[in-house]
A and B are shown apart, each in its own frame.
Chain A
């Protein structure tokens, strides 16, 4: 068992070491002198950077430091995600805060020799935005990408080594649990959450305090706390990053939930597709047990709590709370009707609190800093911050955490760095397969739960995919419908048959056979599905179509009436043409055409036989004169 004094002892021991990574340069240098390490090098070990080779970078770094005899002066820390995934592998040197991007083992050697050994920053390897024209360097937090962000849920991601519990304790881990267990009653915790205005970050936006209050009020000797880490929205990865970068915040918050509702056992249901997150969470659980922060009699207060990991097996519907619990029970992950709600009858039939990862990650900070602090951030009905996984056609792909009420324009143009290749912003998709698209005319809407719903989309878990003019909105609806058809569990008819019928109608439109009345059929069917599906998957499955129909109706009409896909995506509606002005008659296209659809003599303009053309695009790709275009 660890006492609170011992916890504070570890915190004091580690404080300077981790603080170096959080303060401005001058203070950092002062602090660094007290830590025993002249410099600290943080390398991202999140999934994004690991995929782009950060393991090799770390190995090269350690080897090079040894070669130069620097291994005792310079500390290497493998952290979780910094957020700017498109620039990986990322490496940051403190106390300067120099942000090296797209590192390779060769680059590492250069940085070690010049910067770490001789003190000369290697400017050409820094993230370009951190180097001013006059040669001066700014730190990460001053760049456009980070400046507008406010990191609460992600506060420790990219700051600490998630596999070292002492570093986590150095940045206040388990302080909130200590405070709750020694100075707060369960009612105090519930009230604190209610006053903070925290709403569930998994998509629904239900007030967390209320959820806990219901579960607390439920009668029963055995209750459970669950964490939903089955992040199924394709394109959202904030929960994974939190588990990879700061697993102790989740463990701590679940223990707080256990104390509040009277539960002693927690389950984290996590996607098996997230091996790094599973591993880091397992390590964190083991370390927490070794330090007595999980298990019997935590901090000597008589409170017992432990957590077990359950791996999901790839079913999107298991993100729905009742389906998730059915899956933990070892069955097919099918949802069941509510009520009874999980707070009354949840896992194994017992009262259960279930929150998503990001929701939990906020809680220790709310307990420590108070509900007033938290409710001062955000908009009237949506408090705090939201993490978005920014992806698609945007320059800075990565994780961003912004105060509620930030506009989409700020996210796209400032934080995201705009659309690459000079293309125009067309829409932003939020909420994944359950959400919808926000069009350019609404780009100045402040983002919060209610505004997004008013626009026909939803917050969802936080995927934010930017679409440019080359994206066909009918095709993107079809993409999401294909997803929900695959993932519909089949238990209720409106969802099982409805999604399939919607997809057939969309396929009819994209193949050039659509009729105007299909749009009415889509809208009617969508309404039925929303009203009569058993769970949120079926109820929200029509959203991608309905929102694109609302904001991009003309595009559907173009597909149906003019048989035209303006974005040039829907193959059946495309026609390849040869521009007679540009064609030199080189015969290359005719030679490469796999079906012999192109004819023409040498040095004469060629033509495409549209009855033979399979629209493979080989001719366009091979033309040296840009003479082939899509109509």
Chain B
């Protein structure tokens, strides 16, 4: 199941786009990070296949690409969910109980921070400060920001996304 889910499903269009990105940046000094960032924008994550294309395209070793891709928390080697939940664990949010919000989301979705639900609908991460400390504790789902969170609001918010999904299917 796992291997099926994670099999690389890149399209030719994506590959063309990636090659354009590589060509655009190739001659700029220090271009690996911008290329990885744009590649993640194209594919949603950076599987080994994509890293290999980047290494070949830039003429550097795969180990160098892998080293950078695994160093920074922004880069993900596994696919993310359709809705990316991220609970802020910055200090301002933490002292106002963000850990309890995170625990409630984990509990509700049955996954741990850093994982993705089996149906691919939600992935969960904690992040360090989105800078909306006035609204602490803060949770983000995609681009939507939920401020002044309490654990008992979690259910209602997640339901909204699940219902949207249900509605779309029927």
Contacts and interface: CB of A to CB of B under 8 A. Distances in A.
Interface string A299-318: 00000000000111111100
B163 interface: no
A312 B72 CA distance: 9
A392 B128 contact: no
B90 A234 contact: yes
Contact of B129 (A84, A235, A392): A235
B135 A52 contact: yes
A335 interface: no
A233 B74 CA distance: 16
Contact of B94 (A84, A232, A333, A479): A479
A83 to B, nearest CB: 10
A126 B105 CA distance: 36
Interface string A164-187: 000000000000000000000000
Contacts of A314: 72-74, 128
Which of A312, A331, A348 has the most chain B CB atoms closer than 10 A to its own CB? A331
B147 A397 contact: no
Interface stretch (B9-17, B27-35, B116-124, B153-161): B27-35
A392 B95 contact: yes
Given A272-B37, A348-B29, A51 B72 contact: no
Contacts of A389: 92, 133
A272 B145 CA distance: 17
Interface string A452-477: 00000000000101010001000010
A315 B71 contact: yes
Nearest to B103: A616
B22 interface: no
A313 B37 contact: yes
Contacts of B29: 329-330, 348
B91 A463 contact: yes
B131 A313 contact: no
A330 B92 contact: no
A245 interface: no
Contacts of A240: 131
Contacts of A327: 33
Given A51-B147, A313-B73, A393 B134 contact: no
B95 A467 contact: yes
B91 A235 contact: yes
A391 B136 contact: yes
Contacts of B36: 313
Contacts of A84: 134
Contacts of A393: 95-96
B67 interface: yes
B130 A47 contact: yes
Contacts of B94: 234, 479
A234 B128 contact: yes
A330 B72 contact: no
A398 interface: yes
Interface residues of B, number: 35
Interface string A468-493: 00010000100110010000010000
Contacts of B130: 47, 51, 273
B68 interface: yes
Interface in A266-296: 272-274
A197 interface: no
B70 to A, nearest CB: 9
Interface string B24-67: 00000111111011000000000000000000000000000001
Contacts of A333: 71-72
B74 A391 contact: no
Contact of A232 (B33, B67, B68, B128): B128
B21 interface: no
A272 B128 CA distance: 12
B132 interface: yes
Given A329-B29, A389-B133, A313 B72 contact: yes
A152 B151 CA distance: 40
Given A51-B138, A315-B71, A471 B131 contact: no
Interface of A: 47-48, 50-52, 84-88, 231-237, 240, 272-274, 310-316, 327-333, 348, 389, 391-393, 397-398, 429, 432, 463, 465, 467, 471, 476, 479-480, 483, 489
Given A310-B33, A313-B36, 20 more contacts: A48-B131, A48-B134, A51-B135, A85-B135, A86-B134, A272-B74, A273-B74, A273-B127, A310-B30, A311-B33, A311-B37, A313-B73, A314-B73, A330-B68, A331-B32, A393-B95, A393-B96, A398-B134, A483-B128, A489-B71
Interface of B: 29-34, 36-37, 67-68, 71-75, 89-92, 94-96, 127-136, 138, 145, 147
